[in-house]
């Protein structure tokens, strides 16, 4: 294994800080950062940081750890609009990739770009259900704790293998889940939801899926 100062990708954030990522055979994992004493004021901390040992009393006391930095935040009108716009704008990219049988392109657009917007909307949904007081977890790892069983099943259906038919099904499952949770959230938060755009995009997806492979254009 390479040492941290030997790595070219990803590059070290600076020449002074060295990070050792250590995986032990017993299953424990430790990320050890060596930070220069002269730059102690730049030492990063978050709401979960806890001071375990400071023999020389060099570090200012930490407040009791909480999850406050990791709680979902109430969306602004702009953030909500951006999420909806990106979701419905990129869905046709997935359809295009599937129709052209470009599975890696289609999967990236669905499982990275579109999914990011769905996960953001689900995070706001969980925030609304819990008073923005619970941590849904990085990349939604705790979603199952907070989503209604019906929504969890719908989310599971958004994941597919590399089969084209299954990926088409996952695309529509993704759209159905987004359409189920986003409009009520828009009303609750006082935000605008692009109903007309969503309907047009959904209809376009249906059209492209049914389009013969011999078609010369998608419109």
Residue 20 pLDDT: 86
101: left (phi over 0), alpha (psi -120 to 50) or beta: left
Is 109 inside any structural domain? yes
H-helix or E-strand containing 180? helix 164-189
Is 139 a member of any domain?
yes
Total-model pTM? 0.85
Question: 7 in a domain, yes or no?
Answer: no
Q: Which residue has the tokens 């002074």?
A: 16
Tokens 């990320």 belong to which residue? 31
- Which DSSP letter does residue 37 get? G
Q: How far apart are the first and last CA of the chain?
A: 52
- 87 assigned to some structural domain: yes
What pLDDT is recorded for position 85?
98
Residue 57 lies in a domain: no
- Provide the 10 A C-beta neighbour count for residue 78: 9
Position 17 in a domain: no
Question: Can you tell me the distance from the alpha carbon of 174 to that of 90, in angstroms, rounded to the nearest whole number?
Answer: 12
Q: Give me the pLDDT at residue 77, please.
A: 97
Token pair recorded at residue 107: 């999967």
pLDDT, mean of each 10-residue run, the chain (219 residues): 62 71 92 85 84 88 86 94 98 97 98 98 97 94 97 98 98 98 97 98 97 76
Helices (H) and strands (E) in the chain, counts: 7, 2
Question: Residue 166's pLDDT is what?
Answer: 98
**Residue 164: domain span:** 73-210
34 and 18 Cβ atoms separated by less than 8 Å: yes
CATH number at residue 160: 1.20.120.330
Does residue 118 lie in a domain region? Answer: yes
Residue 119: what pLDDT? 98
Q: Tell me how many domains the chain contains.
A: 1
Q: 27 in a domain, yes or no?
A: no
């Amino acid at each position: 294994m390479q040492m941290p100062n030997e790595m070219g990708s990803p590059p070290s954030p600076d020449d002074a800080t060295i990070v050792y990522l250590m995986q032990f055979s017993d299953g424990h994992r430790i990320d050890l950062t060596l930070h220069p004493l002269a730059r102690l004021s730049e030492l990063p901390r978050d709401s979960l940081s806890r001071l375990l040992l400071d023999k020389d009393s060099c570090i200012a006391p930490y407040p009791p750890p909480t999850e406050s930095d990791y709680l979902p935040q109430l969306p602004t009108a702009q953030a909500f609009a951006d999420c909806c716009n990106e979701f419905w704008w990129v869905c046709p990219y997935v359809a295009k990739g599937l129709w052209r049988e470009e599975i890696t392109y289609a999967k990236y657009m669905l499982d990275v770009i579109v999914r990011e917007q769905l996960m953001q909307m689900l995070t706001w949904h969980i925030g609304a259900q819990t008073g923005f007081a619970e941590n849904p977890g990085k990349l939604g790892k705790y979603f199952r704790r907070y989503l209604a069983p019906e929504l969890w099943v719908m989310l599971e259906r958004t994941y597919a293998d590399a089969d084209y038919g299954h990926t088409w099904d996952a695309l529509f499952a993704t759209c159905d889940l987004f359409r189920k949770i986003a409009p009520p959230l828009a009303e609750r938060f006082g935000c605008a939801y692009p109903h007309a755009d969503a309907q047009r995009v959904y209809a376009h997806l249906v059209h492209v899926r049914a389009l013969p492979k011999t078609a010369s254009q998608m419109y």
